[in-house]
Amino acid sequence: MSTPSSSPIRLVLASSSPYRRELLAKLGIPFESASPDIDETAMAGETPTQLSKRLAEEKAHALRNHFPAHLIIGSDQVAILDGAQLGKPGDTAKAVAQLLAASGKAVEFFTSVCVVNSKTGLTVSDTDKTVVHFRTLSRRKIERYVDIERPFDCAGGFKSESLGIALIESLETADPNALIGLPLIRLVGLLEKCGLEILGEKESLTQRRNDAT
């Protein structure tokens, strides 16, 4: 009599971001996504790393009751220019203002990722720091870019994965995925700590990608 195999590990992405969903899909593993409801207000004295890490962990833990036997992935990004946090601009005027302020300067992006085993409570997290050095940009070029791409839902007011790359002089990063919103290199390591090896499954990557679609 054969014994039943153990249940496959199920993943949940604690985010409504289409950018993070697209990034996680690169790993070829089926996952669900759900939006956590948390207060993202910074606490007094928090560093950017502390803030992004805390929010990533809170996002993942916020879904534990809804997904009681899963690995839940939370992520958060904090952008800093001249010591001040940059939020999502939300409209044209604020996007243009953010990019004018960043022109010729460096913006630091702290992107944290957390994995929570909702059954055991095991929590592991890590943070990527990416520095974006912007070109010296004229208002005309900035307004043209914002008019084309409308990056209102992106911290810093640009999308590095598309036309926003034309705004950048150089990057200091260990993982370009982190700038888009999810540090995949660090995530792979965290998933392994939780018992999920991305290239350790028996089935082919092609089959897993088919299952994920």
Count of CB atoms situated within 10 Å of the CB of 57:
22
Take residue 182 and report the two structure tokens written for it: 């999810």
Asked whether the beta carbons of 162 and 149 are under 8 A apart, the reply is: yes
Asked whether the beta carbons of 194 and 122 are under 8 A apart, the reply is: yes
Count of CB atoms situated within 10 Å of the CB of 61:
19
Active site residue 76: yes
Contacts within 8 Å (CB) and 24+ apart, 202-209: 205/28, 208/28, 208/29, 208/30, 209/28
Q: Name the active-site residue from 76, 126, 147, 153.
A: 76
- Of the candidates 12, 18, 52, 15, the residue with the CA atom closest to the CA atom of residue 37: 15
Q: Enumerate the β-bridge partners of residue 134.
A: 168
Asked whether the beta carbons of 137 and 100 are under 8 A apart, the reply is: yes
- Report how far residue 174's alpha carbon sits from residue 110's, in angstroms, rounded to the nearest whole number: 12
Residues designated as active site: 76
